[in-house]
Amino acid sequence: MMNSLGEEIGATNRTATEEAAGKLERIIAGQVRHYRNAEGLSSAELAARTGLSKAMISKIETASTSCSLTTLQRLADGLKIPVTALFRGADTDRDATFTKDGQGSLTVRSGTQHGHEYRVLGTLKGRTDALEPTLVTLTDASDVFPLFQHPGTEFIYILSGKMIYGHGAYEYTMEPGDSLLLDGEGPHGPLELLDLPIRFLAIAARQAH
């Protein structure tokens, strides 16, 4: 009974491994065909460039064989691409957030009570190193609030308006196109609102633990 169960589990594991390997071979096959066609190469021309046989190129492009590391490097060199390009699409189950213009999640932060609007443009769950992009809007209903402090770093890019932004003992007059990269541990925030409305992108990098 135990032998039978063990054989069944082993067969299941082999099937999963074979399916994964087959998927990878199909991905490599598709990428080789894509880049070969993009270069305007025939199978024979790619074979000549790589030192592989035309029959081998055919097997690779039909996912009929598994490529060695040496073969993958030859293909990449022949197609003038990095080796990693041959695996593009192999790892597709990754978290991403897409935000259309004017959308994003409004959130309440310490500056909200001072009339600052915060619209979070995307988050990645379960990542301690993920960036936190936020669109900040200041209007005539906003007050200055130069007391933000947090672990990690922050990048600020001015989209519209004009303000004096403080970080520690320093002050920066910021207009559209200006940017500031700062250590989040230092007290920072708008000191003077010169031309309203002000919109800027604040991208905070969390500190990995």
Domain layout of the chain by residue ranges: 2-87, 105-205
Q: Is 2-87's fold the same as 105-205's?
A: no
Cα three-residue angle 7-66-56, rounded to 5 degrees: 145
CATH number for the domain running over 2-87: 1.10.260.40
What does the alpha-carbon distance between residue 57 and residue 3 come to, in Å, rounded to a whole number?
42
pLDDT above 50 for 9: no
At residue 139, the pLDDT reads: 95
String of b and e for 168-181 (b: at least 16 CB within 10 Å)? eeeebebeeeeebe
At residue 126, the pLDDT reads: 76
What are the tokens at 11? 């067969």
What are the tokens at 60? 């690779």
Question: Cβ of 159: how many Cβ atoms within 10 Å?
Answer: 13
At residue 17, the pLDDT reads: 42
Query: Under CATH, what is the fold of the domain 105-205?
Result: Jelly Rolls (2.60.120)
At residue 95, the pLDDT reads: 80
At residue 176, the pLDDT reads: 98
pTM over 0.75: no
